């Protein structure tokens, strides 16, 4: 006996095309000649409309399969419109068969997700009951739980037990959930690296020298720098702990090379060997969020931000700076869960310094570089020329050296040669170190005050900057601060800058 044409089956037929209604009408015994004539007319009308659409597409040269990178806004709006789920954000980054488009755009394929999500809760009094409810669903696995930077959780959907469409329907009708989005990948663009000649004496990298920092401090900087990256091989650093946040994916020396290099630029110790960082001896914390391939799930990075925020909430007076030298172009200025977590962490008092990215595009669509409250950093070379690869735009707050930057090697061998790397990943830790120096002198400063102080002390003059992009380079020697009134010159900084390269006391000569 033929099935009943219910509302849901009719809706399905509408999605599949008007021809799918024919079997149902036949089954109801109502497929008369008159019905056939009406149906034929409807089919012909549909075909005519389809032909018109195809003709327009041919003339304009626009379709999902050939959408150019410059058509991001239109592409995203079309993708969003395809979804009937109002709580689903960034649907253009979701691989899902039930969406009318057949695939995500090619430029987003490497970061798109298909069965992993991050969810944000509404303000609920008993959040554990919400989590218990979702744990009870067959096919739903809770991967992460957040309660400090954002109130939410991350899940994996086992599609053999629950379809993505059914899960999104549950979320759509749940008043305790305010939004849901794909748990996308972010990554660092693995920079080329090369080893320099080993040396037994300490010297000053050109980038550290260019920003007016380096040798001359007799005491370690009293601030905490958190490096979210692929891990750190501890050498010539004030080690303050490793936290492995990665859910899956093993690390290796290559993944640690990126994080070690960043940590060295920010805080390598002022001793008799290796290189010197901008904030020598600052306490360095390694939060491993990138796997061996240099990728991270959004949910893993949010976990790190959530833990750091909890630490700040427990110790409000603790001076904390976070360096993030990875991200992804998500094609929209709309915040995702990571962006919101960072913004909330900054509101709690944590300073975030973020690399602008290396795609040579406007950073306003790059997560988490486009977080307004963070300090976003672009790059320039040793000739004070804006780096062609660096992202740009009004989102970028400061510039810093980012081409052929010398810093620590992941090798634990004594006097291991430093490594050259290039990228905005290398520019960001110059600013993170400068922020740590400021907080050392004024630990009560808010993130906004840190940004204002760094901007006020920055030096103009970087050439070839794109339109609507700052030309200011971070500069430590120009920082004005006081633990009392905030505007007393740093004593003897300028003289130490000119004297630091003089031979003696076991310190090597800086080089350009």
The closest alpha carbon to 186, from 146, 141, 228, 151, belongs to 228
The pLDDT value given to residue 415: 64
Q: Among 119, 443, 452, 122, which Cα is nearest to 312's?
A: 443
Residue finishing a domain among 116, 150, 183 = 183
User: Same domain, yes or no, for 55 and 164?
Assistant: no
Q: Report the run of H or E that residue 238 belongs to, with start and end.
A: strand 238-244
How far, in Å, CA of 386 to CA of 365, rounded? Answer: 20
Mean pLDDT calculated for residue range 4-24: 38
Tell me: do 95 and 199 sit in the same domain: no
In sequence order, the 6+-apart residues with CB closer than 8 A to the CB of 299 are 116, 118, 143, 144, 154, 183, 247, 337
Instruction: Please check whether residues 454 and 394 belong to one and the same domain.
Output: yes
Q: How far apart are CA 433 and CA 213, in angstroms?
A: 9
* Domain span including residue 138: 67-183
> Active site residue: 83, 91, 183, 258, which one?
258
Q: Which of 116, 151, 183, 229 is catalytic?
A: 229
The model carries a pTM of: 0.79
Active site residue 222: no
Per-residue tokens: 352: 């975030």
Q: Say which range, 6-20, 227-241, 312-326, has the weakest mean pLDDT.
A: 6-20
Residue 130 pLDDT exceeds 60: yes
Using the predicted structure, report yes or no on whether residue 285 has a pLDDT greater than 50. Answer: yes
Active-site annotation holds for 258: yes
CB neighbourhood size of 174 (10 A): 17
- Domain CATH for 457: 3.40.50.200
- Residue 268 is assigned to a structural domain of this protein: yes
Least confident of 48-57, 130-139, 356-365: 48-57
Catalytic site includes residue 425:
yes
**Among 72-81, 391-400, 477-486, the least confident range:** 72-81
Is the model's pLDDT at 384 over the cut of 70? yes
Q: Name the band, by pLDDT with cuts 50, 70 and 90, for residue 242.
A: confident
CATH number at residue 115: 3.30.70.80
Q: Which residues of 464-484 are buried (b: 16+ CB within 10 A; e: fewer)?
A: ebbeebbbbbbbbbbbebeee
Set 425, 430, 473, 475: catalytic member: 425
The reported pLDDT for the residue numbered 423 is 95
Asked, for residue 505, whether it belongs to a domain, the answer is no
385 and 469 part of one domain: yes
Tell me how long the chain is: 512
Count of domains in the chain? 3
Q: Is there a single domain that holds both residue 230 and residue 371?
A: yes
Q: What is the pLDDT of residue 193?
A: 57
Query: Is 363 within 8 Å of 396 (Cβ atoms)?
Result: yes
pLDDT tens digits for range 90-99? 999 998 877 7
The yes-or-no verdict on residue 249 having pLDDT over 70 is no
**pLDDT digits 0-9 by tens, 493-503:** 333 333 333 33
Digit-coded pLDDT (tens) for 252-284: 555 688 999 999 999 999 887 788 999 999 999
Answer yes or no: do 343 and 485 share one domain: yes
Q: In sequence order, what are the residues at sequence separation of 6 or more whose Cβ sits closer than 8 angstroms to the Cβ of residue 347? A: 373
């Amino acid at each position: 006996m033929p099935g009943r044409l219910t509302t849901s089956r009719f809706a399905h037929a509408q999605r599949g095309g008007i021809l799918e209604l024919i079997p149902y009408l036949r089954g109801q015994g109502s497929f008369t000649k008159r019905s056939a004539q009406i149906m034929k007319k409807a089919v012909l009308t549909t075909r005519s409309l389809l032909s018109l659409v195809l003709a327009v597409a041919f003339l304009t040269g626009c379709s999902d399969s050939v959408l150019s990178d410059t058509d991001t806004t239109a592409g995203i709006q079309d993708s969003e419109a395809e979804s009937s789920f109002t709580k689903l954000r960034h649907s253009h980054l979701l691989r899902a068969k039930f969406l009318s488009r057949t695939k995500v755009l090619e430029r987003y394929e490497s970061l798109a997700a298909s069965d992993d999500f991050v969810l944000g809760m509404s303000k609920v009094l008993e959040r554990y009951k919400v989590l218990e409810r979702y744990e009870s669903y067959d096919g739903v696995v809770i991967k992460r739980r957040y309660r400090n930077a954002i109130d939410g959780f991350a899940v994996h959907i086992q599609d053999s037990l629950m379809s993505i469409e059914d899960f999104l329907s549950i979320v759509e009708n749940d008043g305790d959930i305010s939004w849901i989005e794909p748990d996308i990948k972010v990554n660092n663009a693995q920079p080329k690296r090369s080893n320099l000649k080993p040396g037994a004496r300490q010297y000053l990298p050109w980038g550290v020298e260019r920003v007016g920092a380096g040798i001359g401090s007799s005491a370690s900087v009293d601030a905490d720098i958190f490096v979210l990256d692929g891990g750190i091989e501890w050498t010539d650093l004030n080690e303050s702990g490793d936290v492995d946040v990665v859910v899956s994916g093993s690390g290796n020396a290559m993944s640690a090379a990126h994080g070690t290099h960043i940590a060295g630029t920010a805080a390598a110790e002022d001793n008799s060997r290796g290189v010197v960082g901008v904030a020598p001896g600052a306490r360095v914390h390694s939060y491993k969020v990138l796997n061996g391939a240099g990728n991270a799930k959004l949910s893993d990075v949010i976990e790190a931000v959530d833990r750091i925020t909890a630490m700040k909430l427990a110790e409000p007076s603790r001076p904390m700076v976070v360096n993030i030298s990875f991200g992804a172009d998500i094609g929209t200025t709309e915040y995702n869960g990571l962006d919101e977590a960072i913004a909330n962490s900054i509101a709690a008092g944590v300073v975030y310094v973020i690399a602008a990215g290396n795609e040579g595009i406007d950073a306003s669509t790059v997560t988490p570089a486009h977080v307004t409250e963070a300090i976003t950093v672009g790059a320039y070379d040793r000739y004070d020329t804006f780096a062609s690869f660096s992202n740009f735009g009004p989102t970028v707050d400061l510039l810093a050296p980012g081409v052929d930057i010398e810093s620590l090697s992941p090798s634990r061998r004594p006097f291991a040669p430093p490594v050259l790397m290039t990228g905005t990943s290398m520019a960001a830790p110059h600013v993170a170190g400068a922020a740590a120096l400021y907080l050392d002198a004024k630990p009560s400063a808010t993130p906004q005050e840190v940004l204002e102080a760094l901007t006020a002390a920055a030096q103009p003059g970087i050439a070839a900057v794109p339109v609507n992009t700052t030309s200011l380079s971070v500069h430590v020697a120009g920082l004005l601060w006081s633990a009392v009134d905030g505007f007393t010159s740093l004593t003897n900084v300028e003289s130490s800058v000119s004297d630091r390269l003089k031979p003696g006391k076991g310190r090597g000569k800086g080089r350009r």
